[in-house]
């Protein structure tokens, strides 16, 4: 796998600590032509952790990928030095005339706010509209999925009585759908959210199709069948310790009502290392997206 990223990218240090094979992340020569150009709008608070999540996923692809991380100029991150953003990210305004094969919008810690009250909502709407004109296929994750569904289709979100937090089993409605090729009958996905979307609102739009949902988590994956856009409510990209970090953070804040993440620790014991149940399907999901919807679509 070839991955074109900035030199000395800090996320590589996190991957090295995981005993991840950094040798697989080969920085391509400048004269090499990538198979795909992928942009990531990283709205997560811990930017470097999310960068590592994306690199971990992309490293499983046999394609040579040029990867750009994008930031919004109307938003100043609180948990990542602005110097990091300016060094390793590109502003949205600087890439407006660039076309990409793939585009990912992450979740964000603003899900309990009305969409229009989010400080960067206006610029984010510009990003959504830009993507429809300049991107082959878009993948929206967690709050990013809720925000895009609201912007494009007016789909509302609803606050849950209790945070959905843990590793949940899912099934596929249509195993022939390319995004789910190679999946087992049951696959697992991490969830960490306070809000949800409802099937009744999705069914109002003929162009939207639900490909996976469960009683425990509700809808997991929606596709816009009129274009190559996908909306995922979970965090398939999460690292093994991501939910543990969230759990310990919440405990320190005194948020005891959240509870231990479901189906995550052996015997429900936070002192034991979590069981990773979602790694293989996460890799397959992103590989299928890159292969069938970003790469093959450019060859048609």
Distance, in Å, from the CA atom of 195 to the CA atom of 162, rounded to the nearest integer, reads 9
Which residues belong to the active site?
Answer: 142, 235, 237
Helix, strand, coil shares of the chain, percent, nearest 5, are 35, 25, 40
* 259: DSSP letter: -
Provide the 10 A C-beta neighbour count for residue 266.
10
Distance, in Å, from the CA atom of 59 to the CA atom of 65, rounded to the nearest integer, reads 9
Distance, in Å, from the CA atom of 274 to the CA atom of 245, rounded to the nearest integer, reads 11
Residue 237 neighbours by CB under 8 Å, 6+ apart: 53, 54, 56, 57, 141, 282, 286
């Amino acid at each position: 796998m070839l991955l074109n990223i900035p030199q000395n990218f800090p996320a590589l240090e996190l991957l090295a600590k995981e005993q991840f094979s950094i040798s697989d992340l080969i920085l391509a020569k400048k004269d090499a032509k990538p198979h795909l150009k992928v942009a990531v709008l990283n709205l997560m608070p811990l930017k470097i952790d999310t960068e590592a999540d994306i690199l971990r996923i992309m490293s499983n692809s046999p394609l040579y990928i040029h990867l750009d991380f994008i930031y919004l100029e109307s938003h100043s991150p609180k948990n990542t030095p602005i110097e990091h953003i300016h060094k390793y990210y590109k502003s949205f305004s600087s890439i407006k005339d660039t076309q990409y094969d793939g585009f990912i919008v992450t979740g964000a810690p603003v899900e309990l706010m009305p969409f229009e009250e989010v400080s960067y909502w206006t610029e984010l709407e510009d990003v959504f509209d830009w993507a429809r004109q300049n991107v082959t296929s878009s993948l929206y994750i967690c709050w990013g999925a809720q925000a895009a569904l609201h912007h494009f289709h007016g789909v509302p979100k609803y606050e849950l009585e209790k945070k959905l937090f843990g590793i949940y089993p899912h099934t596929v409605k249509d195993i022939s759908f390319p995004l789910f090729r190679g999946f087992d009958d049951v696959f697992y996905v991490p969830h960490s959210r306070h809000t949800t979307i409802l099937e009744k609102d999705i069914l109002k739009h003929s162009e939207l199709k639900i490909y996976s949902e469960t009683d425990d988590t509700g809808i997991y994956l929606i596709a816009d069948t009129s274009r190559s856009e996908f909306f995922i409510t979970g965090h398939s990209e999460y690292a093994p310790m991501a939910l543990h970090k969230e759990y310990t953070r919440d405990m320190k804040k005194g948020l005891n009502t959240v509870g231990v993440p479901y189906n995550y620790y052996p015997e429900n014991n936070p002192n034991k290392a979590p069981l990773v149940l979602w790694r293989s399907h996460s890799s397959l999901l992103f590989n299928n997206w890159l292969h069938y919807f970003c790469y093959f679509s450019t060859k048609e």
